[in-house]
Structures are given as C-alpha cells and as structure tokens.
Amino acid sequence: MIVDTIKEKMCVNKLVATKKEIILVEGDMIVPDSKPDILNTICTSGVICIYKKEILEGKVKLEGSINTNIMYMADDSKDKVRGLSTNLDFIESISINNCKENMTCKLNTNLKSIEAKVINGRKIGIKATIEVEINIYENEEVDIVNDIQNNDSIQVLKQNVKVNSLLGVGETKIYAKENINIDNIDNLAEILKTSINICNKDTKFSYNKILTKAEAEIKIMYLTEDNRINSVSARIPVVGFIDMQNISEDNILDIDYEIKNIILKPNSSEEHSIYVELEVCVTASVYEEKNMNLIQDLYSPTENLEFNKKKIITITDKENRSEIKKIREQLNVEGLDEKNIIDVDIIPTIENENVVGNRTVYEGQLELNFILSNSELQVDTRRAKIPFSYETENSCEDMNNNIKFDVINKDFIIQDNNIVNSNIDLRIDTDSYRNSNMNVIEEIEDIGEKSTEDYSVLMYIVKKGDTLWEIAKRFNTTMDEIVRINGIDDPDMISIGQKLFIPHYQKVFINEYE
C-alpha cells in the first residue's frame, strides 16, 4: 500500500560538464582588384559571432565567424595605410562527456589572438585563436516528499536545506540598427578597424516579462579619401523582452548576450555616416531561492516500510556580483617619439587561481596592443603587459566562481621618455554558486504490520557517533518516548557514556497479505 504523502516540485539545474577549449581558425584572403598590393600588415582585429550552437550526443557543434579587419601598409607610394575586411568562418565540434540532446549550453568566447601574414602581394593568410568555455546543464523536474499524511505512527527525520530552483529559461533575438555619423569634413574611404562591446547591462521584471537593456559600444577607425586616419565611437541601445511566467524581483537572474551577426556598411559620401546592424541573442535563466524541509530518513515502530532514496545534485547559495577594478599603471613603451596613440586593444587573461580560506585570488594580466601613427601617416604597433590581481570572497570553501571581464573605460597619455600613463577600468562580473548533494525520498510503501510481544525497558550506553534518532530507530521506539522516560531537555545533546532507558518491544514481522 502506498503511503499518502505531500510532495513539492523542484526544477534542478544540474551542471553536467564544463570544458575549456582552444579553437584554431585559419583562412586565406585574396586582395580585391580595387586595392593596392600589400607591403606588410600593421594590425589585425576581429569580433566573434556565434550564429549557431548545437548540443549533440557527446559533443557541442559551433558555427560562427570572426568579423575581421586588417590594417596594412600598401606597396604604393601614394597610398600608405589601407584596410581590408573579411569574415573568417569556422565550424567546430567539441567533444564533451555526458553531453546529450535537449540539454542547455552556456558559452563564453574570447579572441585570444588574431594575426595576418603576407603570402604574396595579393594574398594574406589569417590565423586566429579562440578560447571557448562551455558549461552544459541538464534541467530535471523532481517531485520531493516533504511530509506524511494520515499516518501518525511514521517517524520522520527532516533537514532544512536551501536550494536554487530553476523557474525557467527564455531567450530573445534583438536587432539593433543605427547610422553612426562621422565628421562632416570626412569622406570615408574604407574602414580600418572595428571593436564592439556589450556594456551597461540592466534588467527589470514586469508582468511576467523580463526587460533587458544594454548598449553596444562600437568604435570604428576609418581612412578618409584624403589619407587621414580618424575614429568614431557610438553606443547603440540593445533592448528586448523575454516572456516568462511566475517571476518576481526577488528571483536571481542570469543574463547572457551573444553577438550572432554584424553588418557595417558606409552610406553615401553625402551622408557622412556608417550603417551598423547587430543581431544579438539574449538568454535569461531565472532561479528561485527555496527553503525546503526535506525528509532524510523515516521508519515506523508498528509498520514495515519500504522507500526509495534518490541522490540529486543541485545548486545553492547562488549570487551575482559586479565590481569595477581601476588599474592605474605607468608603462615604458619604446618608440613613441613624435607619435600619437590611435587605439589600444586590451585582452584580459587569468593566469592563476588560488583558494585561500574563504577567498579566491585570481592573478592575471592585461595584454595591450598600441596602434601608433606619426604626422606622415606611418602606422606602427607596440605591445605591453600589465599584471593585475583580483580577490573574491566565498561564503563557503567549495564555491564555484564564473568570472567575466569587460574593459569599460580606457585612457592613455604619452609622457616624456616613452612613458605612458594608463588608466583602465575593468568590470568584473562574478557568478557564484555551490553544488549541493541531496538525498530525496520519492515513494513510500507500507508492506506489512509489525506484531509486538511483551513491552520491556532496556539500558543503553551512548557510543561515539550515536544520535537519538538512530537509537530510537534501532530499538523500534520513538525519540519522544526516549526523551520522556529519560527527562532529556535537548534531543540534540546526548554525550558519550550517557545511560539511557529505552522503551522496547520484541517484534515479529507479519505479512498483511497472508
């Protein structure tokens, strides 16, 4: 006979696998006939677009491209600096154990390096290194028994646990469009370099919807028809709604932005502007913090019970934090005489991670690529590194931290003797959580009554590791009876060597179906 129980639903968002992988992307580009021959490349930059990710049995398949800009020195006395743009496409399958269809995937990508080398005056070879971090999650609906109905004889041991139950996952695609104006005196010849960063992320809950607000910060370096290098910056709103039921501001929200496609196209020379269109996928995962009183064990002095225990892994103590780290450093960069800084590419990397007590210390560096020019429009590059460290406080020792870095502000001032004052603001987003192993009871079945003989009381001496629950269960009695007979004030406070009187029944199993 199935015992009547009260059940509570919980959605477990279990981290099944995590993997970091380096993807190498290579390709060739033929210089269009309208462009002069290449003498040498100056710098290469790119923006990663992931337009498809597919979760398959044992692997994740990624399809995307690197929107690439190449600045080069022309083999022509008239044209000194020129630019090329191309899409470097890639398809990659990454093997991941325990990965299955219908699971969910969180993806972080970082363009570690990209370079272009001259094969001949009309052909360039491009090599890029993408660092990919993949987290695979499995969502499982679980019915958890948390109370017994209509049976006072069943003794129940409960434990209060705090879990983060997944309420839902939703996504939306946002198309952000803008005409970015350049100086009226500039007639744009070609785009030399582009950088795009999603910043100022914000969310609001409203009527079963999540309002996602962010900005795409775009910086475009371009060449004018009279051979000047100029740049323009703009911020395009990225705003959308994600439908999701039964959510509130008390919930914990994870938001991920992925750039899926980029279109940059100069408008007519009379308009003095550049058309920019972005396709951005925004994914939201919403968690509810639940305090649950879970049954850990049970028995009955009068009935024989069978029940199944299931071990599940879920997350708890989830928290999202954001911090701005200000990095102020003086750098010695050789070869700055009579040169201006056009732009600086910054790539943050983590080199080491150490857990010290309740804190995690990250040691990393900022890789800087300075793009310089002089009055004769000769462009050159210099590289430098700035070490940095970051500490985050953990609520317990076994916390997992996912770290994301965004450069939200940068300023560089050239001083005398090749000294550069560097002012960099680094935004650090930390997603913290702890994996929790829980034993949950699914079904309880009464398989027969227990028949008792004469009542007796025995003496028991408490041993190391004993609890009142285990003693009562062993001798087929109840904690309440032991507490009553022995006058115990606190059931959680028994000591080794303590003598306890145990009310005890000799019991014989009777099958109710005989």
Please state the domain extents for the chain.
21-139, 154-299, 451-509
* Distance from C-alpha of 169 to C-alpha of 7, rounded to nearest angstrom: 24
* Distance from C-alpha of 341 to C-alpha of 246, rounded to nearest angstrom: 52
pTM: 0.82
Tokens 């935004």 -> residue: 427
The residues with which 18 forms a beta bridge, in sequence order, are: 135
Give, for 468, the enclosing helix (H) or strand (E).
helix 468-474
Domain range 451-509, CATH architecture: Roll (3.10)
The DSSP letter of residue 472 is H
What is the reported pLDDT for 506?
A: 53
Which residues does the chain have with pLDDT short of 50? 507-514
* Distance from C-alpha of 513 to C-alpha of 277, rounded to nearest angstrom: 74
* Distance from C-alpha of 248 to C-alpha of 206, rounded to nearest angstrom: 8
In degrees and rounded to multiples of 5, residue 478 shows phi and psi of -125, 155
Q: Which SS3 state, helix, strand or coil, does residue 490 take?
A: coil
Mean pLDDT of the chain: 87
User: Using a CB cutoff of 8 Å and minimum separation of 24, what contacts does 411-417 make?
Assistant: 412/341, 412/344, 412/370, 414/336, 414/339, 414/340, 414/341, 415/330, 417/332
Give, for 191, the enclosing helix (H) or strand (E).
strand 188-205
Q: Which SS3 state, helix, strand or coil, does residue 480 take?
A: helix
- At 388-447, the pLDDT tens digits run 998 888 766 678 888 888 888 899 998 888 899 999 999 998 888 888 888 788 788 888
Q: Using only C-alpha atoms, what is the Rg of the chain?
A: 32
